[in-house]
Amino acid sequence: MRGPPFSGGIFDLEGKLRRIAEIEEISTNPDFWSDRSHAMTLGREKTRLQKDVDAFVAPTRALKDAAELIEMAEADNEAGFEVEISATVDDSRKKIEALEFARMMSGENDRADALVSINAGMGGTESQDWVQMLLRMYLMWAERKGFVTEILDELPGEEAGLKHVTFQVEGDWAFGYLRAEIGVHRLVRISPFDGNARRQTTFAGISILPDIEETVEIEVNEDDLRVDTYRAGGAGGQHVNKTDSAVRLTHLPTNIVVQCQNERSQMKNRSKAMKMLKAKLYDLERRKKDAERDKLEAEKREIDFGSQIRSYVLHPYRMVKDLRTGHETGNTDAVLNGDLDAFIEAYLMHGQKPKQ
Protein backbone atom coordinates (compact mmCIF):
# COMPACT_ATOMS: atom_id res chain seq x y z
CA MET A 1 0.00 0.00 0.00
CA ARG A 2 1.51 3.32 -1.04
CA GLY A 3 0.18 6.63 0.25
CA PRO A 4 -0.67 9.70 -1.80
CA PRO A 5 2.23 11.99 -2.72
CA PHE A 6 0.68 15.08 -1.14
CA SER A 7 0.55 13.77 2.41
CA GLY A 8 3.33 15.87 3.90
CA GLY A 9 1.14 18.66 5.23
CA ILE A 10 0.53 22.15 3.91
CA PHE A 11 3.67 23.61 5.54
CA ASP A 12 6.09 21.23 3.80
CA LEU A 13 6.92 23.97 1.30
CA GLU A 14 10.24 22.57 0.12
CA GLY A 15 8.76 19.11 -0.39
CA LYS A 16 5.87 20.53 -2.40
CA LEU A 17 8.16 22.58 -4.62
CA ARG A 18 10.32 19.51 -5.25
CA ARG A 19 7.26 17.45 -6.16
CA ILE A 20 6.01 20.17 -8.55
CA ALA A 21 9.39 20.14 -10.26
CA GLU A 22 9.27 16.32 -10.48
CA ILE A 23 5.84 16.38 -12.12
CA GLU A 24 6.96 19.07 -14.56
CA GLU A 25 9.96 16.92 -15.46
CA ILE A 26 7.78 13.83 -15.90
CA SER A 27 5.35 15.75 -18.11
CA THR A 28 8.12 16.52 -20.62
CA ASN A 29 8.36 12.80 -21.43
CA PRO A 30 6.99 12.16 -24.95
CA ASP A 31 5.00 9.20 -23.61
CA PHE A 32 3.44 11.23 -20.80
CA TRP A 33 -0.07 11.19 -22.30
CA SER A 34 0.04 7.54 -23.34
CA ASP A 35 -1.53 6.76 -19.96
CA ARG A 36 -4.15 9.52 -19.94
CA SER A 37 -5.60 8.56 -16.54
CA HIS A 38 -2.20 8.71 -14.83
CA ALA A 39 -1.35 11.99 -16.58
CA MET A 40 -4.58 13.58 -15.38
CA THR A 41 -3.93 12.34 -11.84
CA LEU A 42 -0.50 13.99 -11.86
CA GLY A 43 -2.03 17.16 -13.28
CA ARG A 44 -4.55 17.33 -10.45
CA GLU A 45 -1.77 16.69 -7.94
CA LYS A 46 0.31 19.54 -9.36
CA THR A 47 -2.67 21.91 -9.21
CA ARG A 48 -3.27 21.04 -5.56
CA LEU A 49 0.39 21.45 -4.65
CA GLN A 50 0.56 24.83 -6.39
CA LYS A 51 -2.49 26.00 -4.43
CA ASP A 52 -0.71 25.06 -1.21
CA VAL A 53 2.44 26.92 -2.24
CA ASP A 54 0.45 30.02 -3.22
CA ALA A 55 -1.49 29.92 0.06
CA PHE A 56 1.76 29.76 2.01
CA VAL A 57 3.47 32.57 0.11
CA ALA A 58 0.47 34.93 -0.08
CA PRO A 59 0.53 36.22 3.56
CA THR A 60 4.24 37.03 3.33
CA ARG A 61 3.69 38.98 0.13
CA ALA A 62 0.74 40.85 1.64
CA LEU A 63 2.74 41.83 4.74
CA LYS A 64 5.63 42.95 2.54
CA ASP A 65 3.22 45.15 0.57
CA ALA A 66 1.93 46.65 3.83
CA ALA A 67 5.49 47.38 5.00
CA GLU A 68 6.28 49.12 1.71
CA LEU A 69 3.12 51.24 2.00
CA ILE A 70 4.10 52.26 5.53
CA GLU A 71 7.57 53.28 4.33
CA MET A 72 6.06 55.32 1.51
CA ALA A 73 3.63 57.01 3.88
CA GLU A 74 6.42 57.89 6.32
CA ALA A 75 8.70 59.13 3.55
CA ASP A 76 6.02 61.36 2.02
CA ASN A 77 4.43 62.26 5.38
CA GLU A 78 1.10 61.23 3.87
CA ALA A 79 -1.93 60.19 5.87
CA GLY A 80 -3.84 59.05 2.80
CA PHE A 81 -2.22 55.62 2.89
CA GLU A 82 -3.96 54.65 6.12
CA VAL A 83 -7.01 53.06 4.51
CA GLU A 84 -4.91 51.09 2.04
CA ILE A 85 -2.48 49.97 4.74
CA SER A 86 -5.34 48.87 6.99
CA ALA A 87 -6.93 46.89 4.14
CA THR A 88 -3.62 45.21 3.29
CA VAL A 89 -2.95 44.23 6.91
CA ASP A 90 -6.51 42.91 7.25
CA ASP A 91 -6.03 40.84 4.08
CA SER A 92 -2.79 39.44 5.53
CA ARG A 93 -4.56 38.51 8.76
CA LYS A 94 -7.27 36.63 6.83
CA LYS A 95 -4.67 34.73 4.82
CA ILE A 96 -2.79 33.76 7.98
CA GLU A 97 -6.04 32.60 9.61
CA ALA A 98 -6.72 30.49 6.51
CA LEU A 99 -3.27 28.93 6.89
CA GLU A 100 -3.95 28.22 10.56
CA PHE A 101 -7.14 26.41 9.58
CA ALA A 102 -5.29 24.54 6.82
CA ARG A 103 -2.79 23.36 9.45
CA MET A 104 -5.58 21.20 10.85
CA MET A 105 -5.93 19.52 7.46
CA SER A 106 -2.62 17.68 7.64
CA GLY A 107 -3.93 14.12 7.73
CA GLU A 108 -2.75 11.74 5.05
CA ASN A 109 -6.14 11.66 3.35
CA ASP A 110 -7.68 14.97 4.41
CA ARG A 111 -7.55 16.30 0.87
CA ALA A 112 -9.34 13.29 -0.60
CA ASP A 113 -12.96 12.98 -1.66
CA ALA A 114 -15.20 11.30 0.89
CA LEU A 115 -17.45 8.24 0.94
CA VAL A 116 -20.24 8.82 3.47
CA SER A 117 -22.51 6.09 4.84
CA ILE A 118 -25.51 6.76 7.09
CA ASN A 119 -27.20 3.85 8.84
CA ALA A 120 -30.45 3.82 10.81
CA GLY A 121 -30.21 2.79 14.43
CA MET A 122 -32.90 1.63 16.80
CA GLY A 123 -36.27 3.27 16.25
CA GLY A 124 -37.75 1.77 13.10
CA THR A 125 -39.46 4.30 10.84
CA GLU A 126 -38.44 7.20 13.08
CA SER A 127 -34.76 6.28 12.71
CA GLN A 128 -35.11 5.75 8.98
CA ASP A 129 -36.64 9.21 8.59
CA TRP A 130 -33.68 10.59 10.58
CA VAL A 131 -31.32 9.03 8.02
CA GLN A 132 -33.23 10.86 5.27
CA MET A 133 -32.97 14.14 7.20
CA LEU A 134 -29.22 13.71 7.71
CA LEU A 135 -28.73 12.90 4.03
CA ARG A 136 -30.52 16.13 3.09
CA MET A 137 -28.42 18.08 5.63
CA TYR A 138 -25.12 16.84 4.24
CA LEU A 139 -26.14 17.29 0.60
CA MET A 140 -27.11 20.90 1.34
CA TRP A 141 -23.82 21.44 3.22
CA ALA A 142 -21.85 20.02 0.29
CA GLU A 143 -23.69 22.28 -2.15
CA ARG A 144 -22.75 25.31 -0.02
CA LYS A 145 -19.09 24.27 -0.18
CA GLY A 146 -19.21 23.81 -3.95
CA PHE A 147 -18.69 20.04 -3.65
CA VAL A 148 -20.17 17.51 -6.06
CA THR A 149 -22.25 14.68 -4.60
CA GLU A 150 -23.51 11.39 -5.96
CA ILE A 151 -25.64 8.77 -4.21
CA LEU A 152 -24.07 5.34 -4.75
CA ASP A 153 -26.39 3.04 -2.82
CA GLU A 154 -29.56 3.36 -0.76
CA LEU A 155 -32.05 1.07 0.94
CA PRO A 156 -35.51 2.61 1.43
CA GLY A 157 -37.45 2.11 4.65
CA GLU A 158 -40.72 0.20 4.69
CA GLU A 159 -42.87 3.28 5.42
CA ALA A 160 -40.59 6.29 5.03
CA GLY A 161 -36.98 7.38 4.99
CA LEU A 162 -33.94 5.22 4.41
CA LYS A 163 -32.42 2.29 6.28
CA HIS A 164 -29.04 3.00 4.74
CA VAL A 165 -27.45 5.33 2.21
CA THR A 166 -23.94 5.74 0.83
CA PHE A 167 -22.91 8.78 -1.19
CA GLN A 168 -19.74 10.32 -2.54
CA VAL A 169 -18.58 13.89 -1.90
CA GLU A 170 -16.06 15.22 -4.40
CA GLY A 171 -13.98 18.30 -3.67
CA ASP A 172 -10.77 19.57 -2.12
CA TRP A 173 -10.58 18.66 1.60
CA ALA A 174 -13.96 16.86 1.55
CA PHE A 175 -12.72 14.06 3.82
CA GLY A 176 -10.79 16.48 6.02
CA TYR A 177 -13.99 18.38 6.79
CA LEU A 178 -16.35 15.44 7.01
CA ARG A 179 -14.23 13.32 9.35
CA ALA A 180 -15.62 15.65 12.03
CA GLU A 181 -19.02 13.99 11.50
CA ILE A 182 -18.06 10.37 12.18
CA GLY A 183 -20.09 8.87 14.99
CA VAL A 184 -23.65 8.59 16.25
CA HIS A 185 -26.14 11.44 15.81
CA ARG A 186 -29.13 11.63 18.17
CA LEU A 187 -32.49 13.21 17.36
CA VAL A 188 -35.15 14.16 19.93
CA ARG A 189 -38.53 15.35 18.64
CA ILE A 190 -42.27 14.79 18.56
CA SER A 191 -42.50 11.96 16.06
CA PRO A 192 -44.70 12.61 13.01
CA PHE A 193 -45.22 8.83 12.88
CA ASP A 194 -46.70 8.58 16.38
CA GLY A 195 -50.47 9.06 16.48
CA ASN A 196 -50.23 10.02 20.16
CA ALA A 197 -47.70 12.81 19.43
CA ARG A 198 -45.17 11.46 21.90
CA ARG A 199 -41.58 12.59 22.12
CA GLN A 200 -39.17 10.11 20.53
CA THR A 201 -35.40 9.69 20.69
CA THR A 202 -33.68 8.02 17.76
CA PHE A 203 -30.17 7.49 16.43
CA ALA A 204 -28.24 7.19 13.18
CA GLY A 205 -24.61 6.19 12.72
CA ILE A 206 -22.33 7.94 10.25
CA SER A 207 -19.11 6.43 8.92
CA ILE A 208 -16.87 8.28 6.48
CA LEU A 209 -13.93 6.96 4.48
CA PRO A 210 -11.50 8.76 2.18
CA ASP A 211 -12.08 8.05 -1.49
CA ILE A 212 -8.43 7.19 -1.99
CA GLU A 213 -6.51 8.55 -4.95
CA GLU A 214 -5.53 6.37 -7.88
CA THR A 215 -1.92 6.76 -6.70
CA VAL A 216 -2.74 4.68 -3.61
CA GLU A 217 -2.14 1.09 -4.59
CA ILE A 218 -4.57 -1.45 -3.14
CA GLU A 219 -4.40 -4.83 -4.81
CA VAL A 220 -7.57 -6.91 -4.85
CA ASN A 221 -7.30 -10.51 -6.03
CA GLU A 222 -10.31 -11.41 -8.19
CA ASP A 223 -10.24 -14.88 -6.64
CA ASP A 224 -11.00 -13.26 -3.27
CA LEU A 225 -14.21 -11.70 -4.55
CA ARG A 226 -17.76 -12.98 -4.73
CA VAL A 227 -19.70 -10.92 -7.24
CA ASP A 228 -23.50 -10.86 -7.10
CA THR A 229 -25.71 -8.99 -9.51
CA TYR A 230 -29.34 -8.14 -8.92
CA ARG A 231 -32.06 -5.83 -10.11
CA ALA A 232 -31.78 -2.34 -8.66
CA GLY A 233 -34.61 -1.28 -6.38
CA GLY A 234 -36.46 2.00 -6.62
CA ALA A 235 -39.76 3.77 -6.34
CA GLY A 236 -41.19 2.01 -9.39
CA GLY A 237 -42.52 3.32 -12.70
CA GLN A 238 -40.72 3.75 -15.98
CA HIS A 239 -37.33 4.46 -14.33
CA VAL A 240 -37.01 1.04 -12.68
CA ASN A 241 -34.09 -0.84 -14.16
CA LYS A 242 -35.31 -3.99 -15.93
CA THR A 243 -31.88 -5.69 -15.92
CA ASP A 244 -29.59 -7.05 -13.19
CA SER A 245 -27.38 -3.94 -13.20
CA ALA A 246 -26.81 -3.62 -9.43
CA VAL A 247 -23.56 -5.12 -8.14
CA ARG A 248 -22.62 -6.47 -4.71
CA LEU A 249 -18.98 -7.34 -3.98
CA THR A 250 -17.99 -9.53 -1.04
CA HIS A 251 -14.32 -9.63 -0.14
CA LEU A 252 -14.03 -13.16 1.22
CA PRO A 253 -10.83 -12.81 3.33
CA THR A 254 -12.26 -9.86 5.31
CA ASN A 255 -15.99 -10.40 4.74
CA ILE A 256 -16.31 -6.74 3.70
CA VAL A 257 -19.43 -6.20 1.57
CA VAL A 258 -20.06 -3.21 -0.69
CA GLN A 259 -22.73 -2.57 -3.28
CA CYS A 260 -23.72 0.00 -5.85
CA GLN A 261 -26.99 0.19 -7.76
CA ASN A 262 -27.55 3.75 -8.89
CA GLU A 263 -25.91 3.49 -12.31
CA ARG A 264 -27.77 2.00 -15.27
CA SER A 265 -24.71 0.07 -16.35
CA GLN A 266 -23.55 -3.02 -14.48
CA MET A 267 -19.98 -2.14 -15.47
CA LYS A 268 -20.22 1.34 -13.92
CA ASN A 269 -21.81 -0.07 -10.76
CA ARG A 270 -19.00 -2.62 -10.46
CA SER A 271 -16.35 0.06 -10.97
CA LYS A 272 -17.79 2.26 -8.22
CA ALA A 273 -18.30 -0.70 -5.89
CA MET A 274 -14.64 -1.61 -6.40
CA LYS A 275 -13.61 1.92 -5.40
CA MET A 276 -15.68 1.60 -2.23
CA LEU A 277 -14.11 -1.78 -1.47
CA LYS A 278 -10.59 -0.44 -1.91
CA ALA A 279 -11.37 2.47 0.39
CA LYS A 280 -12.58 0.07 3.08
CA LEU A 281 -9.56 -2.20 2.67
CA TYR A 282 -7.28 0.82 2.88
CA ASP A 283 -9.04 1.94 6.06
CA LEU A 284 -8.77 -1.59 7.49
CA GLU A 285 -5.00 -1.58 6.97
CA ARG A 286 -4.71 1.80 8.65
CA ARG A 287 -6.71 0.52 11.62
CA LYS A 288 -4.36 -2.43 12.01
CA LYS A 289 -1.32 -0.17 12.01
CA ASP A 290 -2.94 2.18 14.50
CA ALA A 291 -3.80 -0.74 16.78
CA GLU A 292 -0.22 -1.97 16.68
CA ARG A 293 0.99 1.46 17.78
CA ASP A 294 -1.87 1.77 20.27
CA LYS A 295 -2.64 5.21 18.90
CA LEU A 296 -6.13 4.83 17.50
CA GLU A 297 -7.58 8.13 16.41
CA ALA A 298 -11.08 8.85 17.67
CA GLU A 299 -12.55 9.11 14.18
CA LYS A 300 -11.17 5.66 13.28
CA ARG A 301 -13.06 3.80 16.00
CA GLU A 302 -15.91 1.46 15.26
CA ILE A 303 -19.20 3.27 15.02
CA ASP A 304 -21.56 2.11 17.74
CA PHE A 305 -24.30 3.63 19.80
CA GLY A 306 -21.97 4.35 22.69
CA SER A 307 -20.06 6.91 20.64
CA GLN A 308 -22.77 9.56 20.37
CA ILE A 309 -21.21 12.81 19.20
CA ARG A 310 -24.09 15.23 18.68
CA SER A 311 -27.66 15.79 19.81
CA TYR A 312 -30.36 17.51 17.76
CA VAL A 313 -33.22 18.45 20.09
CA LEU A 314 -36.42 19.76 18.49
CA HIS A 315 -38.69 19.31 21.54
CA PRO A 316 -39.31 20.48 24.27
CA TYR A 317 -36.71 23.12 23.34
CA ARG A 318 -34.60 23.57 20.21
CA MET A 319 -30.85 23.06 20.32
CA VAL A 320 -28.06 21.28 18.50
CA LYS A 321 -25.07 20.47 20.70
CA ASP A 322 -21.81 18.71 19.94
CA LEU A 323 -20.90 16.58 22.95
CA ARG A 324 -17.18 16.53 22.11
CA THR A 325 -16.54 20.25 21.84
CA GLY A 326 -19.49 21.78 23.70
CA HIS A 327 -20.36 23.91 20.66
CA GLU A 328 -24.11 24.50 20.44
CA THR A 329 -26.76 26.60 18.72
CA GLY A 330 -30.49 27.17 19.06
CA ASN A 331 -30.89 27.66 15.32
CA THR A 332 -31.75 24.03 14.58
CA ASP A 333 -33.35 24.84 11.22
CA ALA A 334 -30.12 26.37 9.91
CA VAL A 335 -28.12 23.30 10.95
CA LEU A 336 -30.58 20.86 9.38
CA ASN A 337 -30.40 22.98 6.23
CA GLY A 338 -26.67 22.40 5.97
CA ASP A 339 -25.12 25.14 8.13
CA LEU A 340 -22.49 22.85 9.67
CA ASP A 341 -19.25 24.81 9.33
CA ALA A 342 -19.22 26.12 12.91
CA PHE A 343 -19.55 22.56 14.28
CA ILE A 344 -16.90 21.19 11.93
CA GLU A 345 -14.43 24.00 12.64
CA ALA A 346 -14.99 23.66 16.40
CA TYR A 347 -14.17 19.96 16.17
CA LEU A 348 -11.06 20.52 14.08
CA MET A 349 -9.84 23.31 16.37
CA HIS A 350 -10.62 21.16 19.42
CA GLY A 351 -8.54 18.35 17.94
CA GLN A 352 -5.48 20.61 17.79
CA LYS A 353 -5.44 21.35 21.52
CA PRO A 354 -2.59 19.72 23.46
CA LYS A 355 -3.64 16.56 25.30
CA GLN A 356 -3.49 16.75 29.08
Q: What is the mean pLDDT of each run of 10 residues along the chain (356 residues)?
A: 42 83 91 84 83 77 77 70 75 75 76 93 91 98 96 92 95 92 95 88 93 69 91 54 79 93 87 89 80 47 62 96 96 98 91 47
Parallel, antiparallel, or unpaired: how do β-strands 148-156 and 162-170 relate? antiparallel
Amino acid 356: pLDDT: 35
Rounded Cα distance between 4 and 15, Å, is 13
Structure confidence at residue 263 (pLDDT): 82
Q: What's the pLDDT score for residue 125?
A: 92
Provide CB contacts within 8 A for 282, sequence distance 6+: 1, 209, 210, 212, 216, 218
Q: What residues does CATH 3.30.70.1660 cover in the chain? A: 109-356
How many whole angstroms from its chain centre is CA 316? 32
Are the CB atoms for 85 and 93 separated by under 8 Å?
Answer: no
What pLDDT was estimated at residue 242?
A: 53
CA contacts within 13 A on the Cβ side of 276:
29
What topology does CATH give the domain 13-103?
Methane Monooxygenase Hydroxylase; Chain G, domain 1 (1.20.58)
The pLDDT value given to residue 290: 66
Check residue 292 and give its pLDDT: 57
Strands, sheet with 162-170, edge to edge from the N-terminal-most edge strand: 148-156, 162-170, 113-120, 199-211, 183-190, 308-313, 319-322, 328-329
Amino acid identity, position 173:
W
Exposure on the CB side of residue 3, measured as CA atoms within 13 A = 12
Q: How much is the pLDDT for 139?
A: 98
- The pLDDT assigned to 16 comes to 82
pLDDT for 167 equals: 96
Beta strands in the chain (DSSP E): 113-120, 148-156, 162-170, 183-190, 199-211, 225-230, 246-251, 256-260, 308-313, 319-322, 328-329
pLDDT at 81: 67
109-356, which class in CATH?
alpha beta
* pTM of structure: 0.68
- Give the model's pLDDT for residue 10: 55
Ranges for all domains in the chain classified under CATH 1.20.58.410? 13-103
Residue 5: per-residue pLDDT:
36
pLDDT of residue 172: 84
For residue 11, the model assigns a pLDDT of 61
What is the widest separation between alpha-carbon atoms in the chain?
80
What is the predicted pLDDT for the residue at 240?
46
